[in-house]
Structure 1
């Protein structure tokens, strides 16, 4: 990695195989300080240049504070008055199942009342954040199609390539035509001829035109490449939707936000109580490497005192959870959301859900009694000598036993196993059948399963036990929230309960759980 001065002039970083992650984080941090990022495609790999001409953090702060939060200036609505009036009457929604909070958010985004500040859509798990963003996209695409205009360009930014793909598939299922969408895919991805998304997939570095496209879906860096690839031919977007904004690093978000040279009207959708940006570089972390646009919004006074609800006129917090069992919703809400997330109106369960609940009841796992269960096992944890990642073989064997018992009564597709450490994930994938998915917390964002089994790994026993009974980054409520809230019916924690209670981390002591024996017939 070559670094010249980063105070003034130019900093050039070349990504190598060994330092790729560190370099990227350092770039993000440099941008956060006083830099502007530019991508210079080369014949050999990927070279990035940073020029000290723009104070990125200051520019973002100016955007958030643009005009001042006290101003009443109104922008031009993104749809005409007739369309907006119909929506306010509750007419014309593509998804008639949207609740009042979701409808209010759609109307306020389209109304464009505060053009100089972003709109916050706070969506705890299962509250329909993606459905709300999709409705905004469908409303704009439909309206501008009827008016025969071509200025309905929307950037739909998602943090991962997997998320980009699922978003494109979802919009196609909702009725958007392939000629209305462009899905930007990774420079390292190869689109096969049989890929159903082949017709809408393009590499950002090879784009030729966007004039007739309604929606462009991509990661922050893929969106940032558009301006560099198309230059002045790149039409300014009408709206930028930034999904999982609390998880995207500030520098990467800024890259997407300024793809056209200056910030555009933006909707920030996310959840401050879920995963925060990851940062492995201490240098980058010291320069706001773990900072997100949601953090900047909080610092700029966008939230109420509870830090969860946006202030009036600046956004909406979606509170109704339709995805999970009522008992689990209330338990997660009390632990992480100050009781603000509440179960949605009960609906008749589907046949598959009834069969699932019948299977769980046969195992003694009735969510009405306790939606969070604990299989107490105290195995010795170990550290991989190469990756330094933790794993626990005894605990992995217990997880296999739990999953085997579950799959005797419910389909394996309804079970997912999570672990906080990559080495434990690797051990579990070797031991479990292939039809059981195993992820880390970072890999499971945006996904859910009826039953979640969590291998906690940490223990008092083993070569790396800490005198303070440490639990590592499982002391972070955001990470534990992700592990638990992916479930729709029930969560089974596998690990040393005494170790986590002795850790002194508050929520582990009050976690509403019921301890189960290691299954024999369970």
Structure 2
């Protein structure tokens, strides 16, 4: 929040840093001190008298009269409490931003004291022409260059430096002279100060040299770019192609109520099965009240604690529906980020082909049957083109015949506007409408059944499972959770999907033994997770017993040859045919996405047909997606109806685009919400302590936390993925120290002796790089060429390392911004086996080696990033997923000064440094200096329309 011009808090925080015995006790002296402070820091614009009154009013001081003519200033405890803030260990992004915002005033010579301009001094020392705008020097690990500044007192009075010059922040590449604490400079005298610069590491040496005189401060802002010749060429290839110009955002009225005339196009043939639907899917348009409130800015100021749509008993379904309407409104704006200007359409038989960059990665998501709007510049009407085919980066469109015959020309330039398919959103609202009759013990579990006295013996197939996995399977087979959902809480690498699949197998086996009817619906939020279940079940169920229920729009190329026999692909029609009711009823198990489960209801599958509901990756689905899997299908009156969830509420939740809907809880999955309820709580609180604990290994046998009702939830604790050092910190931060390192020893230690590791045996490396984060064109997404070049260097060194057997396919690169993904892919070129993607794309995956590029390296926009949980800042779930994908080696490339403003990253950096995994210049323990004490950040004010998803550009969710 921007400080008021008359805010006394910065001065109060400055006072808090002064020793008690040195604070002025005479009001006149206090006024003089404030006057000096205001000269140096012109941010509290009030008179000294008003300042004293403000300090009294806010409870920092009081004036005590003891019979004398002048009162005594007494400092109150509230002022002392500010000292903790004032002495924070690291400059916050806001404080650094303010420091640089005040650069002109701070650099100015004052009261006839003149100090050599810093660029002049550095250019002289390094032999750089003074005409150069930037100071760029070559990396040299051995040679130090001496830079000399002249400090001259041209006034008629003595000028005193109160303390030795210092840097904010400290830079290990710069060594200042050991001056005496105070220095008095007589009139007309000069003194030289020489400091050394040793450009040992690639990146930016950026600091502020502070000269703290008695009555004022003069600063010199140092910026030296050090270049490593080995990666300079790679960095040059990634420089911005065009300057960044923020794309103009459309007005709310343009998006919600476009006035253009739309000429309908020619749709592709309507699949026959759409005419066989028993339950018609309503439109569920956005209510006028919500759309109007949105357009009027009613949702601009969001208080997470005061949601008008609380997810509480009696209101949760209507609240979730309202939040999804807000989410759809955000979709309306986000899809406009893909608008194309001056595009060209090419003739392709009876179609017109449009090339769409990013289409292969669903940015934007354009599917068969979707609509694209085309506008000829100078005209008001838009021509609607239906998508008849989708290729890698190209869609084939058919418009009204008059467009093909009379408007289109080979070189015609047009403007393109994309739309999105509302059907998944409509299924969400249908499910919420249907769920009003569902048992409240499913919506808000609170009454656990009695725990079983004994658990059943599991068959021979379960011998490969550990104690916790077997326990989960036993409770699920026995149905000891009753009407309440059973949760398989699966931290990274603990085999939750394996446990879920075995539970399906054992439940099915028991039903056959008891000769009772069973019909299983297994669903997940994504196609990949649903396919994975089929691949694990293929050896148990035949193609007549198991059905993989696909959306007809899904591309055949996305489905593996293992899964295809379980689908209903029709070669003649070139699409997935909708299974008949008879085929669905015959199947012992149907596997689909959550959204496609809604189609089962629409086609007429009876309530109660499915007896057992299994949801994998439940933490990645919105709560309404969970209800789509059950609504209209589950009979909660049937005591044999069973709901099982597998997931990890500590990892990434669903992708929500709306800032408002996210703040009010739409990003919380059903799994996360119910695990917060008392019935699923633990009997002991997890520990989040110190970063120096020893990882639990194979010798550990006891989990440190247990649940009040273990017949409702089991936490899997054996991690079969990672080296103990890799899992150690997230284990303590997120899982109460319960996880046991059980990964194959040969695999997890396979890179512990890699020559680039600073400390052999500790397979984590943090490479501190002070690079430059940039944007280009009209894309708001960030990239960092320096970090991208180091990613390539490490991959090259890994690939060429002898004796370690590194294959490109064993390497994954994670970065939070879409533009950095694209830059790294471009730079890697022929390294086609390396997967590069966002954190979301790596959830549920693992690689032998993970390299993380954190991108952000300047503080200018970090308050914005932190506020919106962008990148890795203030997003512990994203942090958790990123650092737990690696099996044997984790490399993080980033700017530690920036990352340390986040609590999770601060712990990680401290952990790596303590254990010897640090590479790059030492950043030390940066102290808060007088110059920046008490500075609060400036936050950006957003409206109801969020702008943040464009910066990361996530894949479009809600998969059919």
Asked if the contact 2:850–2:889 (Cα under 8 Å) also holds between the matched residues in 1, the reply is: yes
Does the 8 A contact of 1:64 with 1:300 survive in 2? no
Aligned residue number for residue 78 of structure 1:
none
Q: Is the aligned partner of 1:86 residue 2:457?
A: yes
Q: Is residue 113 of structure 1 aligned with residue 480 of structure 2? A: yes
| Equivalent of residue 442 in structure 2, options 50, 59, 63 | 63
Match of residue 284 from structure 1:
661
- The equivalent residue for 2:627 is 254
Structure 1 residues 65 and 368 mapped into 2: Cα distance closer, same or farther (>3 Å)?
A: farther
Aligned to 1:293: 670
Aligned residues of 1:240 and 1:265 also touching (Cα < 8 A)? yes
Find 1:11's aligned residue among 284, 290, 293. Answer: 284
How far did residue 69 of structure 1 move?
2.2
1:330 is paired with a residue whose SS is helix
Q: Secondary structure at the match of 2:556?
A: coil
Deviation of 1:272 (Å): 1.5
Q: Which residue of 864, 873, 878 corresponds with 1:479? A: 878
**1:504 to 1:282, Cα distance in 2 relative to 1, 3 A:** closer
Question: 2: distance between equivalents of 1:368 and 1:60?
Answer: 56
What corresponds to 2:618 in structure 1? 245
Q: Which moved more, 1:504-513 or 1:419-428?
A: 504-513
* CA deviation map 1:207-243 (0-9, x unaligned): 43322212222211112221112343x7622211111
User: Once the 2 structures are TM-superposed, how far is the Cα of residue 491 of structure 1 from its aligned partner?
Assistant: 0.7
1:402 corresponds to which residue? 794
Q: Match for residue 211 of structure 1?
A: 585
| Structure 1 residue 201: Cα displacement | 1.5
Q: Which residue of 1 aligns with 2:276?
A: none
Return the structure number with greater helix share. Answer: 1
Question: Matches of 1:288 and 1:156 in 2, distance apart?
Answer: 26
CA contact (8 A) 1:210 1:235 kept: no
Equivalent residues of 1:456, 1:494 under 8 A apart? yes
Look up the match of 2:231.
none
* SS of 2:585 mapped into structure 1: coil
Q: In structure 2, what is the equivalent of residue 24 of structure 1?
A: none
Q: Please tell me whether the aligned partners of residues 614 and 644 of structure 2 are also in contact (alpha carbons under 8 angstroms).
A: yes
8 Å contact 1:32–1:57 — kept in the other structure?
A: no
Aligned positions of 1:333-352 closer than 5 A: 333-344=731-742, 349=746
The CA deviation at 1:360 is 5.5
- 2:836 equivalent in structure 1: 438
Is the Cα–Cα contact under 8 Å of residues 204 and 225 in structure 1 kept in the other structure?
no
Secondary structure in structure 1 of the residue aligned to 2:544: helix
CA contact (8 A) 1:184 1:204 kept: no
2:780 match: secondary structure? coil
SS of residue paired to 2:604: helix
How far apart, in 1, do the equivalents of 2:793 and 2:432 lie? 58
Secondary structure at 2:629's aligned position in 1? helix
Spell out, residue by residue over 1:337-387, the C-alpha distance to the aligned partner (whole angstroms, 9 max, x if none).
Answer: 22111223x7563xxx39x82x65242449973232111211111235534
CA gap 1:116/1:320 in 2 versus in 1, 3 angstroms? same
The structure 2 residue matched to 1:195, chosen from 550, 561, 579, is 561
Q: Deviations over 1:252-297 (max 9, x none)?
A: 1111122415555211211121102221113433553112112321
Distance 1:315 1:179, change over 3 A: same
Equivalent of 1:303 in 655, 669, 681: 681
Contact conserved, 1:158 with 1:244, CA < 8 A, in 2? yes
Match of 1:391 in 2: 783
1:276 aligned counterpart, secondary structure: coil
The CA deviation string for residues 291-318 of structure 1, in whole angstroms up to 9 with x for no partner, is: 2112321343222264786432321111
Q: What is the aligned partner in structure 2 of residue 123 from structure 1?
A: 490
When normalised by structure 1's length, the TM-score is 0.80
Which runs of 5 or more structure 2 residues have no equivalent in the other structure?
1-254, 258-281, 288-310, 325-368, 372-420, 569-575, 687-704, 922-960
Distance 1:32 1:274, change over 3 A: farther
C-alpha separation in 2, matches of 1:160 and 1:201: 16
Cα pair 1:378 1:496 within 8 Å, conserved: yes
Rate the CA distance shift 1:343–1:43 in 2: closer, same or farther, 3 A: closer
CA distance in 2, matches of 1:59, 1:473: 38
Question: How far is 1:205 from its partner?
Answer: 4.9
Q: 1:33 aligns with which of 296, 316, 319?
A: 319
Deviations 1:41-84 (A, max 9, x none): x9986543747994958957542445x4254398xxxxxx9xx7
**How far is 1:411 from its partner?**
1.2
Matched, 1:450 2:848: yes
Q: Give the number of equivalent residue pairs.
A: 473
- SS of the equivalent of 1:167 reads helix
Deviations 1:449-479 (A, max 9, x none): 1110001001127x74659998834121110
Specify whether residues 366 and 254 from structure 1 end up closer, same or farther in structure 2 by C-alpha distance, changes over 3 A only.
Answer: farther
Structure with max Cα Rg = 2
Give 1:141 deviation, angstroms: 3.0
SS of equivalent residue, structure 1 residue 257:
coil
Instruction: Decide whether the 8 Å contact of 2:773 with 2:785 is kept in 1.
Output: yes
Whole-angstrom distance in 2 between the partners of 1:227 and 1:220? 12
CA deviations over 1:476-506 (Å, ceiling 9, x no partner): 11101100101111210011122212x1525
1:332–1:481 Cα contact (<8 Å) kept: yes
